[in-house]
Amino acid sequence: MTGKYSRFSLEGERALITGGGTGIGFGIAESMIRAGARVVLAGRREELLRTAADKLGDRAGYIVGDVTDTRGAEEFARTVEEKFGPVSILVNNAGIHHKQPFLETAYEDFDKVLRTHVSGSFVMSKAFAPSMAARKHGHILFIASMTTFIGMPQVIGYTAAKSAVGGMVRALTAELAPLGVRVNAIAPGWINSEMMHRAVNSDPERKAKILGRTPMGRFGDPEDIGDAAVYLSSPAASFVTGVILPVDGGAVTGF
């Protein structure tokens, strides 16, 4: 990249992407590599991570880890930086989905969703932020959701978790901006991914309803989220922090 567009380059950056082996996480990894970054994919399934890293080429590595292992987060961060080098971009992408009517939802299922999205993002951010702050350079990117802004039926845990993500973005922005660490989030709409297909492919009526409420009339692709992640992580967004950016084809306005 040359001229003003070099501001969108991630050359010299290293990103750790939780849940990076598939779906949105993999799409973010692809986009960041195209922008010049090196990436480390993190997740629980080694074979999936290895396959994903092989597809991405020599600018990608992987490490097995579980964001719900809250006591092991700091050791995990040390291991990542010892093996791969300093992480300047953390993408809190790992997530799960549980769809069930509220009155039938067990506390254990509700808690599992919150532990992954909220507690997992908290401990990962807390583990990687100190080294970013020491260098006065870093970006923590959360993956929020349409449910950060609106309520949806039968996903009480997911809605509560993604609402909490919005709160964490605002709180961490206030604390970390003076330390040179920016904090933002992307709120995806309906994106072509394994999680989305599980949610809608078995229900053609629901799929049609969703598309009818999305002004652009289509589902997004992981690359759409990846390109937004590149912008928010790049020097072009050096004065952007505390933002929750919808990338949803206008869906939030359609509900």
Positions annotated as catalytic residues are 158
Separation of alpha carbons 195 and 189, rounded Å: 12
CA 5, distance to chain mean position in Å, is: 24
Separation of alpha carbons 128 and 63, rounded Å: 15
Q: Which residues contact 221 (CB under 8 A, 6 or more apart)?
A: 27, 191, 192
For the CA atoms of 238, 36, 124, 83, the dihedral, rounded to the nearest 10 degrees, stands at -140
Long-range Cβ pairs for the range 144-152 (8 Å, 24+):
144/169, 144/185, 144/186, 144/187, 144/188, 144/244, 145/187, 145/188, 146/187, 146/188, 146/189, 146/246, 146/248, 146/251, 146/252, 146/255, 148/185, 148/187, 148/244, 149/187, 149/246, 149/252, 150/252, 150/255
CB 55 within 8 A of CB 104: no
Q: Say whether 151 sits in a helix, a strand or coil.
A: coil
Nearest to 37 by CA among 94, 93, 87: 87
Q: Which residue has the tokens 């929750």?
A: 244
Separation of alpha carbons 52 and 56, rounded Å: 6
